[in-house]
Amino acid sequence: MIQLSDSYRSQPPDARQALEQAEILCQQRGTRLTDLRRRVLEIIWNNPTPLGAYAILDVLRDDGRQGAPPTVYRALDFLLEQGLIHRLASLNVFIGCRQPTCQHNGQFLICRNCGQVDELNNPTIEHLLRLEASARDFAVLAQMVEVLGHCPDCQRGAVSHAG
């Protein structure tokens, strides 16, 4: 009997809630969620699909903020360190983490058509990878599990593409 992981796409991402949680987490950890960092996190959560660094920069500039690539990348580095966002290496984009309280890597279903991403958290997969690694004396720092394909909507012929 195989247990599937919880799904998170069904719970629509809530930017406000994510920001509140981030605030609390950073306070607990003694790290500083500055204006810039909070705003970057908010931009990521507000978008229906994950954004690249330069797309985030564009929004910051629309805000009237100054900024160059390092501005964004530094904020992203902080958010990654705090486990508040994930980076999807196959698309070079960033997505808000649905469960920032627990250390995890997550697995992602990425739609190539519309860019929508579903974050899973199947502990068996994570466990199996750790098992394979330790059987080879390999010390794991991070796992990247990304599944590329087509989401249900796009299979049905929806034509909206990622913005």
Partner DNA sequence: GTAACAATTGTTATAAGATAACATTAATCA
Partner DNA sequence: TGATTAATGTTATCTTATAACAATTGTTAC
99 binds, among DNA, a second copy, none (CB under 5 to 8 A by kind): none
Could you write out the DSSP letters of every residue in 25-69?
HHHHHT----HHHHHHHHHHHHSSS-B-HHHHHHHHHHTT----H
Q: Are 78 and 37 in contact (CB under 8 A)?
A: yes
Establish if 13 lies at the interface with DNA (CB under 7 A): no
H runs (alpha helix) in 63-100: 69-81
Q: What is the number of other CB atoms lying within 10 angstroms of the CB of residue 81?
A: 10
At closest approach, how far in Å is the CB of 159 from a second copy?
16
d(CA 37, CA 24): 14
Q: Which of 5, 21, 46, 99 binds a second copy (CB under 8 A)?
A: 5
71 binds, among DNA, a second copy, none (CB under 5 to 8 A by kind): DNA
At closest approach, how far in Å is the CB of 78 from a second copy?
20
d(CA 145, CA 44): 20
Q: Which of 36, 125, 144, 162 binds DNA (CB under 7 A)?
A: 36
Establish if 158 lies at the interface with a second copy (CB under 8 A): no
Establish if 1 lies at the interface with a second copy (CB under 8 A): no
Residue numbers 67-126 binding a second copy by CB under 8 A? 89-90, 107, 109, 111-112, 118, 120, 122, 124-125
> Is the alpha carbon torsion for 14, 118, 129, 78 positive or negative?
negative
Note the residues at the interface with a second copy (CB under 8 A).
2, 4-5, 7, 9, 89-90, 107, 109, 111-112, 118, 120, 122, 124-125, 128-129, 131-133, 135-152, 155
